[in-house]
């Protein structure tokens, strides 16, 4: 392989790593924010249970609506996470091809593969769009504010929220409440730690560890 080709490959590798590092950091920020919101949801669930025992219907409704807002915020974060993960995987695959191409002798097949797979302008464009969207006002503030504003402007929010309130109350009180209560006379069943929540937290930990590994791999 000629010196010029090797130098070009090295420049492309360096460029990829420089562009990928901030994206990895933003990805980690999303994962940590999702974990934080989900932990706060568990606290709200306990508060709803306590309010239900005391027959405080209005409190139950307000807290349940907060859970609806947080769940919608998490849904947006999941969408951004999936989009960023797709870009990072694509970059990782292209980096692998570049590294293999750099280690092989010059050949028509290798050069064609590099030309077809290394699409720097496309990746730059995708990352610019992601960066504009997430960094304009800060990823956390923008996503949460968008969620809350869309809910405030929705005329049908109350009806949908009431249905969701009933569902949440039914779930967190183990069926003791089908709807927000006027008064609860019997003791509510004790809630066991949900397996789904534990599995979600384990998955989040694995995602964070995997992203640290990817970031290290891109820098190597």
Tokens of 218: 């891109």
3-state secondary structure of 176: coil
Tens of pLDDT along 91-126? 677 666 666 655 544 445 544 554 554 454 555 555
C-alpha neighbours within 13 Å on the C-beta side of residue 50:
7
Q: What is the DSSP letter of 187?
A: P
103: Cβ–Cβ under 8 A, 6 or more apart, which residues? none
Tokens of 203: 């998955």
Q: What is the pLDDT of residue 175?
A: 66
Q: What is the pLDDT of residue 45?
A: 82
Residue appearing with tokens 């992601």: 130
Q: What is the pLDDT of residue 124?
A: 54
3-state secondary structure of 185: coil
Q: How many CB atoms lie within 10 A of CB 144?
A: 19
Q: How many CB atoms lie within 10 A of CB 187?
A: 8
Torsion of CA 134, 138, 140, 141, to 10 degrees: -120
Q: What is the pLDDT of residue 118?
A: 46
Which parts of the chain register pLDDT below 50? Answer: 1-3, 5, 104-107, 110-111, 114, 117-118, 120, 137, 139-140, 180-192
Tokens of 56: 């405080």
Tens of pLDDT along 196-209? 555 555 665 666 66
Tell me the domain boundaries of the chain.
3-219
What is the distance between the alpha carbons of residues 99 and 94, in angstroms, rounded to a whole number? 9
Q: What is the pLDDT of residue 79?
A: 83
Q: How many CB atoms lie within 10 A of CB 96?
A: 12
What is the distance between the alpha carbons of residues 10 and 26, in angstroms, rounded to a whole number? 25
Measured in residues, the chain has a length of: 220
Q: What is the pLDDT of residue 27?
A: 75
Tokens of 150: 């869309």
Q: How many CB atoms lie within 10 A of CB 198?
A: 10
């Amino acid at each position: 392989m000629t010196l010029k080709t090797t130098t070009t490959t090295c420049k492309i590798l360096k460029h990829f790593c420089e562009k990928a590092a901030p994206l990895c950091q933003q990805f980690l920020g999303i994962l940590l924010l999702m974990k934080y919101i989900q932990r706060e949801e568990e606290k709200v669930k306990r508060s709803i249970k306590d309010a239900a025992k005391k027959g405080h219907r209005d409190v139950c409704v307000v807290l349940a609506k907060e859970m609806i807002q947080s769940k919608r915020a998490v849904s947006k974060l999941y969408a951004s996470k999936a989009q960023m993960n797709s870009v990072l995987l694509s970059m990782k695959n292209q980096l692998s091809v570049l590294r293999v191409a750099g280690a092989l002798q010059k050949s028509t097949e290798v050069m064609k593969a590099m030309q077809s797979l290394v699409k720097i302008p496309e990746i730059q464009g995708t990352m610019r769009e992601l960066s504009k969207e997430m960094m304009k006002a800060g990823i956390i503030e923008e996503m949460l504010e968008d969620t809350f504003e869309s809910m405030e402007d929705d005329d049908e929010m109350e009806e949908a929220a009431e249905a969701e309130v009933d569902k949440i109350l039914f779930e967190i009180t183990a069926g003791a409440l089908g709807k927000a209560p006027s008064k609860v006379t019997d003791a509510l069943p004790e809630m066991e730690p949900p397996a789904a929540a534990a599995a979600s937290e384990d998955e989040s930990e694995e995602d964070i560890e995997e992203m640290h590994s990817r970031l290290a791999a891109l820098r190597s």
